[in-house]
Homo-oligomer: A and B are copies of this chain.
Amino acid sequence: MDYDKYAHEPFAVTVDLAVLTIAEGALHALLVERGQEPYAGHWALPGGFVHPDESAETAARRELAEETGLSDLSGLHLEQLRTYSEPDRDPRMRVVSVAFAALLPDPPEPHGGSDAAEARWVPYDKAGPLAFDHDRILADAHERVGARLEYTCLATAFCPSEFTLGELQQVYETVWGTTLDRPNFRRKVLATPGFVEAVPGAARLTGGRGKPAALYRAGPAATLHPPLLRPSPEGRPA
Contact = CB atoms under 8 A, between A and B. Distances in A.
Interface of A: 1, 3, 5-6, 8-13, 36, 48-50, 52-57, 80, 82-83, 85-87, 92-94, 96, 98, 115, 151, 193, 225-227, 229, 232-234, 236, 238
Contact of A50 (B11, B56, B92): B11
Contacts of A9: 5, 52
19 contacts: A1-B115, A3-B93, A5-B9, A5-B12, A5-B93, A10-B10, A13-B85, A13-B96, A50-B85, A50-B96, A52-B94, A55-B85, A55-B87, A56-B96, A83-B83, A85-B98, A151-B151, A226-B238, A227-B227
A53 B87 contact: yes
Nearest to A3: B92
A57 to B, nearest CB: 8
Contacts of A3: 92-93
Nearest to A56: B85
Contacts of A57: 85
Nearest to A96: B13
Nearest to A225: B238
Contacts of A92: 3
A87 B52 CA distance: 7
Contact of A225 (B6, B83, B226, B232): B232
A8 B225 contact: no
A232 to B, nearest CB: 7
Given A5-B93, A8-B12, A82-B82, 8 more contacts: A1-B48, A6-B10, A10-B11, A13-B96, A55-B86, A80-B82, A225-B229, A226-B229
A233 to B, nearest CB: 7
Contacts of A80: 82-83
A36 B238 CA distance: 54
A62 to B, nearest CB: 13
A95 to B, nearest CB: 10
B10 A5 contact: yes
Contacts of A233: 225
Contacts of A236: 193, 225
